[in-house]
Structure 1
Amino acid sequence: MSNSQMILVAGPYRSGTGDDPVKLAANVRAMNETALTLFRAGHLAVTGEALALPLLETAGSTRPGDPLYDEIFHPIAEQLLSRCDAVLRIGGPSEGADRMVAQARAEGKRIYLSLSEIPAAV
C-alpha cells in the first residue's frame, strides 16, 4: 500500500520582493524545486501559484495585489489545500504561506516544516 501524499508547497511569493518580477519568479522556482523533490519521492506536490498564475494572466491581472489578484490568488490556494493531505511550509516570512499552515491545522492536515520530515512514498 502506498503512503503517497498530496502536499501543498507553501512559501513566500510576494513577501520581500517589492513585486519585482525577477524575485517573484525566484520564489516560484524555489517552490517548484521543492515540489519536484517531493514528486521524485513519490508524492503529488502542488503549488497554488501553478494554478493561480495562469488564471490571473487569463483574467487580465496587471500586477500582484490588483483586484483580480485578490479575487483569485489566495482563494485558489485555499481550495487546493482543502483537497491535499498535508502542507509543507518553506522559505522565509510569508503571510500567505502562514495562512496555509493555519488552514491546514484547522482542517486537521499534516504540517511539515522541512523536506526531511516527509517520508518517501513506498
Structure 2
Amino acid sequence: MKPFIRTFFKTLRIVLGPLMLLKERLTRPTGIVRAQSAQHSTDLQCRNLALYQYQTCPFCIKVRQEISRLSLTIQRIDAQHEGRDRQALLQGGGQTKVSCLKITDDGGNSQWLYDSEKIVAYLRGRFANA
C-alpha cells in the first residue's frame, strides 16, 4: 500500500507542479516602486537574506509572491534534493522544512526563520515602509 501512495503523490506533484508555477508567474504582483537610493539600500539589506525553498511548494510560492510584491532581491536556494544546500539548511536551522529564511547579521550570526506566515510578516515589517 505504501508504494501505491508514494506513486500517487509523486504523480500528483508531477502533474500539478507545472500548473502551480504557471499560476505563480501569471499572478505575480507588481512590485512597489522606491526611489533609486531607497531601492539600493533595500538591495544591500537583502544581501544578508536567503530563502531556502522548494520550487513547487505552495508555502514557498506564497513567500516568493511577497518578495516580488516588496521588490526584494533575496537569494533563493533550492533545498528539495539531497546535497550541499539541503545539508546547510539541516545544520543551520535544525530541520529540512521549507520555506525557511536565513537572516545573517553584520557579525555573521545567522537566525533561521521557518513558516511562511512568519517570513511574510518579517519581510513586511522590515521592508514594507522602507
Q: TM-score, normalised by structure 1?
A: 0.38
Taking structure 2 as the reference length, the TM-score comes to 0.36
Higher relative contact order (CA 8 A, sep 6+): 1
